Amino acid sequence: MRPHDFPRPLACGKLLFTLLAAAALCACSKTATPLGEAKVDAELQKKIQEQLLDAKPGSVVEIPAGNFHFDRGLSLRGNGVTIRGAGIDKTIISFKGQTSGPEGLIVYANDFTLEGLTIEDSKGDAVKINDGENITVRKVRVRWSGEAKTSNGAYGIYPVKTRNVLIEDCEAYGASDAGIYVGQSTGVIVRRNRAEQNVAGIEIENTVNADVYDNLATDNTGGILVFNMPNLSQPGHSTRVYKNKAVKNNRANFGAKGTAVASVPAGSGIVINSNSKVEIFDNDIADNQTGNVIISSYYSTGYFSKEGVEPSYDPYPRAILVTGNRFSGGGDSPDGLDLKTLKTVMFGINGRFPDVLWDGYADAKSAGKPEERICVRNGESQVLNADGPNKYKNPQIDASKPHDCELPRLNPVVLAGRS
């Protein structure tokens, strides 16, 4: 380049002054976005909410590709509606700094489908679906950015009191309760999802007839949970958990104090609590440092309701079958002083718990009922009875193999109108 091709000093100075002046003008503008905050896409936000308000059965509300910032939650109260983004990696809606509505999206509707988008950093739950039937959530990502923390929203994908529910090909990251949660529902399939960095990766709670398969749960506090809690609209039973990968769920518990999941020890692969008719089979379960499979009663959770427990609540696990799983590692560094001490006393500093850890709580009234046993037929896998009722005073691996048994198998869940 020749010397006269460079700008003269005076021209450079003018250019710098012009740029600085423009920057100052932008900084003083009423429409300026504060440093570190995204500008709210108010026009699109308003348009979508109006479409949801006006939607009729058969309506499809399309959200275009792009990265958008909304400060108000969206809501739908109309049946037969589909909300569709351009793709899980193409339509991204951030609710960071949300000022109105705790949820990213709240739905009261039947025959509802949500697909093809990402929802980030909602103030509360990312997607909550209440009291509807024929619900489909497909290829949806929910996440909270940054480090996992208690102030994140409790639930990622959250259908509750619903019927005929399909959640497939979704992702959930960073929920302070459960990434994918189905509660008090009937007829549920949760398949081909990824749950990571949550307290509970996938949770089925007080739900009847659920199939959970082909999912990956990793780097959560607990990978896959099947719970029954008191004082809810229905008890749960009949859940099949199979063909999943529940590996390295060792994240420190960051759930809110007093919640049920706050009692889940870090390092839990698959946890059954106070539920009945649960099958765990054909899973890959590995390197969960407290226990690969944990079977427990409400009495050992440390969670107590201020309202007390209704008399009809059943706190015991019943009719649990563990068979045909592939276990490796795990049980070598349990969470909590009691479990650490128990592991060291029984198996030494370098030892590990067996693949199945049972807290030992059982209903004395149903002793001997073959249809209510805990059955483990899983190769060389053993069951440790931790003797929780006696504060771990007499834990043992029963030499008589009381868990070497079979149970009637559950039928697959069939959803009306879907395969």
pLDDT tens for each residue of 379-410: 999 999 999 999 888 999 976 788 999 999 99
pLDDT recorded at residue 392: 85
pLDDT of residue 38: 73
Q: Bridge partners of 284?
A: 245, 326
pLDDT of residue 370: 93
26 has pLDDT over 50: no
Query: What pLDDT is recorded for position 14?
Result: 34
Cα(275)–Cα(277) distance, rounded to whole angstroms?
7
pLDDT of residue 70 exceeding 70: yes
Alpha-carbon dihedral 197, 302, 296, 319, rounded to 10 degrees: -110
Report the pLDDT value the prediction gives residue 106, as an integer from 0 to 100.
98
- Mean predicted confidence (pLDDT) in 335-357: 94
Mean confidence (pLDDT) of the chain = 90
Neighbours of 50 (CB within 10 A): 11
Residue 32: pLDDT above 60? no
Q: Is the pLDDT of residue 83 over 80?
A: yes
**Amino acid 366: pLDDT:** 87
Instruction: For residue 22, name the pLDDT band (cuts at 50, 70, 90).
Output: very low
Q: Kindly indicate the confidence band of residue 37, based on its pLDDT and cuts at 50, 70 and 90.
A: low
What is the model's pTM? 0.90
**Whether pLDDT at 168 is above 50:** yes
pLDDT in tens, 242-251: 999 999 999 9
Percent of the chain clearing pLDDT 70 (strictly above): 90
Q: How far apart are CA 310 and CA 303, in angstroms?
A: 15
Q: How much is the average pLDDT of 127-135?
A: 97
What's the pLDDT band for 302 if we cut at 50, 70, 90? confident
Q: What is the pLDDT averaged over residues 302-326? A: 89
Which residues have C-beta within 8 Å of that of residue 359, sequence separation ≥ 6?
Answer: 294, 295, 296, 297, 299, 300, 386, 388
Give every CB contact of residue 109 below 8 A, 6+ residues apart in sequence: 76, 77, 78, 79, 80, 81, 129, 132
Please say if the pLDDT value at position 333 is more than 90. Answer: yes
Please state, in angstroms and rounded to a whole number, the distance separating the CA atoms of residues 321 and 376. 6
| Residues 263-278: tens digit of each pLDDT | 999 999 999 999 999 9
Mean pLDDT of 90-102: 95
Least confident of 220-224, 257-261, 380-384: 257-261
Residue 263 vs residue 5, higher pLDDT = 263
Tens digit of each residue's pLDDT (9 = 90 or more) over 368-385: 799 999 999 999 999 999
Most confident by average pLDDT, 10-19, 37-46, 298-307: 37-46
Question: Is the per-residue pLDDT at 16 higher than 50?
Answer: no
Six-digit token pair at 140? 């949806």
One-letter amino acid identity for 293? V
Percentage of residues in the chain with pLDDT exceeding 90?
Answer: 83
